[in-house]
Amino acid sequence: MTEFNIHAAIRILREEYRFWKTPAVTIVAQCDGSPFKVLVSCLISLRTKDDVTAQASMRLFERADTPDAMQSLPVEEVAGLIYPAGFYRNKALQIVEISKRLMREYGGRVPNEIDELLKFKGVGRKTANLVVTLGFGKAGICVDTHVHRICNRWGYVSTKTPDETEADLRKKLPAEYWIEINDLLVAFGQNHCFPVSPRCSVCRLAEMCAKVGVGASR
């Protein structure tokens, strides 16, 4: 099979994107652009459906939308506001503790470097990259389950973990696509290229996709 044409794939995904539901964290970034809100909504989104993330983030930010305001909230209140997000009690504690540390050590400002963000409990590479790209507009590649799965399904990379996928993409993905790859593939994965039974019969990328690991499709 010929090498996967990433330029053609991105062009098609950009065209199709307007028909798909925008990921919740992207909506937060588009509405405000606050790195703090991007960080918090990304933490809420982990192992949580997008609709739940969007509603939970909105409820929480109506109550507190800065590190200073957030650090003053009882953890129990934050938990109640973001329920039923997955692991909402643990996430509430993380959000409050991160807010306190931002005020104590960073003057209430979210760091704009991945390595610095990784020092916060509960912040992994996916979250750090998303904050850097959506919150600050800096180069980064956010690899979540959709990006990892789809890039391997295409045959564009051959990796076992999201971290390995990020490392490979940093080597081969053209820099012009770094920031938007997550947004495009999350929407693609949520609306079309499902983990099980993807919609291959009506996919404009089907002919160029290696369909690695795909069993049944529709």
Please give the pLDDT value at position 2.
73
How far apart are the C-alpha atoms of 19 and 201, rounded to whole Å? 17
24-136: what CATH class?
mainly alpha
Please give the pLDDT value at position 217.
84
Count of CB atoms situated within 10 Å of the CB of 84: 10
Domain ranges of the chain: 6-20+141-202, 24-136
**How would you class 51 by CB atoms within 10 Å of its CB: exposed for 0-12, middle for 13-18, buried for 19 or more?**
exposed
Please give the pLDDT value at position 158.
97
Catalytic residue among 37, 50, 91, 144: 144
Does the annotation mark 160 as catalytic?
no
In the chain, DSSP finds a helix count (H) and a strand count (E) of 13, 0
Catalytic residue among 126, 138, 171, 183: 126
Mean pLDDT for each consecutive 10-residue tract of the chain (218 residues)?
Answer: 89 96 90 92 94 96 98 98 97 98 98 97 94 95 96 97 97 96 95 95 95 89
CATH of range 6-20+141-202; options 3.40.250.10, 1.10.1670.10, 3.30.1330.20, 3.40.50.300: 1.10.1670.10
Does the annotation mark 50 as catalytic?
no
0.85 exceeded by pTM: yes
Q: Is the peptide bond before 84 cis (omega within 30 degrees of 0)?
A: yes
**DSSP3 helix / strand / coil % (the chain, rounded to 5):** 60, 0, 40
Please give the pLDDT value at position 218.
85
Sign of CA dihedral 211, 164, 141, 29: positive
